[in-house]
Amino acid sequence: MELDEPAGKPLETGNPPTPDDAAQLGSDLRVAIARIARRLRQAHAVGDVTISGVSVLARLAEGPDSPGSLAELERVRPQAMATTLASLEERGLVRRGQDAADGRRAIMTITDEGRRVLSERRSESERRLAEVLGAEFTPAERHTLASAVSLLDRLAERL
Protein backbone atom coordinates (compact mmCIF):
# COMPACT_ATOMS: atom_id res chain seq x y z
CA MET A 1 0.00 0.00 0.00
CA GLU A 2 1.46 3.36 -1.04
CA LEU A 3 1.09 6.39 1.18
CA ASP A 4 0.16 9.36 -0.97
CA GLU A 5 -1.04 11.43 1.95
CA PRO A 6 1.11 14.13 3.55
CA ALA A 7 2.67 13.38 6.91
CA GLY A 8 0.20 13.65 9.74
CA LYS A 9 -2.90 13.16 7.57
CA PRO A 10 -4.81 9.92 8.23
CA LEU A 11 -5.24 7.35 5.50
CA GLU A 12 -8.53 7.78 3.64
CA THR A 13 -9.36 4.10 4.09
CA GLY A 14 -9.40 4.48 7.85
CA ASN A 15 -7.26 1.35 8.06
CA PRO A 16 -4.18 1.40 10.26
CA PRO A 17 -0.83 1.53 8.50
CA THR A 18 0.57 -1.80 7.33
CA PRO A 19 4.07 -3.03 8.18
CA ASP A 20 5.09 -1.73 4.74
CA ASP A 21 4.20 1.73 6.03
CA ALA A 22 6.56 1.43 9.03
CA ALA A 23 9.15 3.83 7.60
CA GLN A 24 6.57 6.54 6.91
CA LEU A 25 4.91 5.98 10.28
CA GLY A 26 8.29 6.21 12.02
CA SER A 27 9.01 9.48 10.24
CA ASP A 28 5.58 10.91 11.05
CA LEU A 29 5.90 9.92 14.72
CA ARG A 30 9.37 11.43 15.00
CA VAL A 31 8.19 14.74 13.55
CA ALA A 32 5.03 14.89 15.69
CA ILE A 33 6.81 13.98 18.93
CA ALA A 34 9.61 16.47 18.24
CA ARG A 35 7.05 19.24 17.61
CA ILE A 36 5.20 18.47 20.86
CA ALA A 37 8.45 18.42 22.85
CA ARG A 38 9.63 21.66 21.24
CA ARG A 39 6.35 23.45 21.98
CA LEU A 40 6.38 22.30 25.60
CA ARG A 41 10.01 23.44 25.96
CA GLN A 42 9.18 26.87 24.54
CA ALA A 43 6.90 27.54 27.51
CA HIS A 44 9.83 27.53 29.92
CA ALA A 45 12.15 30.45 30.55
CA VAL A 46 15.61 30.57 29.03
CA GLY A 47 18.06 29.08 31.50
CA ASP A 48 15.40 26.76 32.90
CA VAL A 49 16.16 23.07 33.46
CA THR A 50 16.63 21.20 30.18
CA ILE A 51 14.49 18.29 29.05
CA SER A 52 17.36 15.92 29.86
CA GLY A 53 17.67 17.55 33.29
CA VAL A 54 13.96 17.07 33.95
CA SER A 55 14.26 13.43 32.89
CA VAL A 56 17.15 12.89 35.34
CA LEU A 57 15.20 14.61 38.14
CA ALA A 58 12.24 12.31 37.42
CA ARG A 59 14.48 9.24 37.67
CA LEU A 60 16.07 10.47 40.91
CA ALA A 61 12.61 11.19 42.35
CA GLU A 62 12.17 7.40 42.24
CA GLY A 63 15.34 6.94 44.30
CA PRO A 64 19.08 7.68 44.43
CA ASP A 65 21.23 6.33 41.62
CA SER A 66 24.78 6.44 40.29
CA PRO A 67 25.84 8.65 37.37
CA GLY A 68 26.76 5.55 35.35
CA SER A 69 23.39 3.93 35.90
CA LEU A 70 21.60 7.17 35.04
CA ALA A 71 23.59 7.41 31.79
CA GLU A 72 22.56 3.86 30.88
CA LEU A 73 18.91 4.47 31.73
CA GLU A 74 18.84 7.72 29.75
CA ARG A 75 20.88 6.13 26.93
CA VAL A 76 23.47 8.89 26.85
CA ARG A 77 27.26 8.89 27.11
CA PRO A 78 28.64 9.13 30.64
CA GLN A 79 30.23 12.47 29.69
CA ALA A 80 26.83 13.90 28.69
CA MET A 81 25.32 12.68 31.96
CA ALA A 82 28.20 14.25 33.90
CA THR A 83 27.42 17.60 32.25
CA THR A 84 23.70 17.32 33.05
CA LEU A 85 24.40 16.31 36.66
CA ALA A 86 26.93 19.13 37.12
CA SER A 87 24.33 21.66 35.98
CA LEU A 88 21.67 20.20 38.28
CA GLU A 89 24.13 20.05 41.18
CA GLU A 90 25.22 23.67 40.62
CA ARG A 91 21.56 24.75 40.86
CA GLY A 92 21.07 22.75 44.06
CA LEU A 93 18.59 20.35 42.44
CA VAL A 94 20.64 17.21 43.11
CA ARG A 95 23.23 16.26 45.71
CA ARG A 96 26.25 14.03 45.21
CA GLY A 97 27.06 11.50 47.91
CA GLN A 98 29.02 8.28 48.29
CA ASP A 99 27.70 4.76 48.02
CA ALA A 100 27.66 3.26 51.52
CA ALA A 101 28.80 -0.11 50.16
CA ASP A 102 31.48 1.28 47.82
CA GLY A 103 32.88 4.65 48.88
CA ARG A 104 34.48 5.14 45.46
CA ARG A 105 31.10 5.18 43.75
CA ALA A 106 29.09 8.42 43.60
CA ILE A 107 25.36 8.36 44.30
CA MET A 108 23.08 11.19 43.18
CA THR A 109 20.01 12.20 45.18
CA ILE A 110 17.30 14.71 44.30
CA THR A 111 16.99 17.64 46.73
CA ASP A 112 13.78 19.24 47.99
CA GLU A 113 14.38 22.08 45.52
CA GLY A 114 14.81 19.50 42.74
CA ARG A 115 11.46 17.94 43.67
CA ARG A 116 9.83 21.38 43.64
CA VAL A 117 11.25 22.23 40.20
CA LEU A 118 10.23 18.82 38.84
CA SER A 119 6.69 19.21 40.16
CA GLU A 120 6.41 22.75 38.79
CA ARG A 121 7.72 21.72 35.37
CA ARG A 122 5.40 18.71 35.16
CA SER A 123 2.41 20.76 36.32
CA GLU A 124 2.94 23.45 33.67
CA SER A 125 3.38 20.94 30.84
CA GLU A 126 0.38 18.89 31.97
CA ARG A 127 -1.73 22.04 32.32
CA ARG A 128 -0.88 23.12 28.77
CA LEU A 129 -1.58 19.66 27.37
CA ALA A 130 -4.91 19.39 29.22
CA GLU A 131 -5.94 22.85 28.06
CA VAL A 132 -5.36 22.04 24.39
CA LEU A 133 -6.77 18.51 24.61
CA GLY A 134 -9.93 19.79 26.28
CA ALA A 135 -10.48 22.72 23.94
CA GLU A 136 -9.32 21.37 20.58
CA PHE A 137 -10.00 17.62 20.59
CA THR A 138 -13.28 15.73 20.57
CA PRO A 139 -13.94 13.02 23.18
CA ALA A 140 -13.37 10.40 20.45
CA GLU A 141 -10.01 11.96 19.53
CA ARG A 142 -8.96 12.07 23.18
CA HIS A 143 -9.92 8.39 23.49
CA THR A 144 -7.75 7.57 20.45
CA LEU A 145 -4.81 9.45 21.98
CA ALA A 146 -5.33 7.71 25.33
CA SER A 147 -5.25 4.34 23.57
CA ALA A 148 -1.95 5.26 21.91
CA VAL A 149 -0.12 6.17 25.14
CA SER A 150 0.77 2.58 26.09
CA LEU A 151 1.99 1.92 22.55
CA LEU A 152 4.18 5.03 22.63
CA ASP A 153 5.57 3.98 26.02
CA ARG A 154 6.38 0.55 24.58
CA LEU A 155 8.03 2.15 21.56
CA ALA A 156 10.13 4.40 23.83
CA GLU A 157 11.33 1.41 25.86
CA ARG A 158 12.48 -0.43 22.74
CA LEU A 159 14.37 2.45 21.12
- The string of pLDDT tens digits covering residues 16-46 is 666 678 888 999 999 999 998 888 777 665 4
- Does residue 75 belong to any structural domain of this protein? yes
Cα–Cα distance, 132 to 61 (Å, whole number): 28
Q: Stretch 106-122: mean pLDDT, rounded? A: 94
Classify residue 101: in a domain, yes or no. Answer: yes
72 lies in a domain? yes
Instruction: Please indicate, yes or no, if residue 103 is contained in any of the structural domains.
Output: yes
State the pLDDT at residue 156.
87
Task: Calculate mean pLDDT across residues 48-76.
Answer: 93
pLDDT for res 45: 54
Which pLDDT score is estimated for 43? 67
For residue 134, the domain's CATH number is 1.10.10.10
Residue 12 counted as domain residue: no
Q: Count structural domains, the chain.
A: 1
Query: What does the pLDDT read at residue 21?
Result: 86
Mean pLDDT of 55-65: 96
Lowest mean pLDDT among 9-18, 42-51, 76-85, 124-133: 9-18
The answer as to whether 43 is a domain residue is no
pLDDT, mean of residues 93-112:
93
The count of C-alpha atoms lying within 13 angstroms of the C-alpha of 146, restricted to the half-sphere facing its C-beta, is: 10
Inform me whether the pLDDT recorded for 159 exceeds 60: yes
In a domain, 55, yes or no: yes
- Let me know if residue 24 belongs to a domain: no
pLDDT at site 99 = 86
Domain range for 57 is 49-158
What integer pLDDT is reported at residue 109 of this predicted model?
A: 98
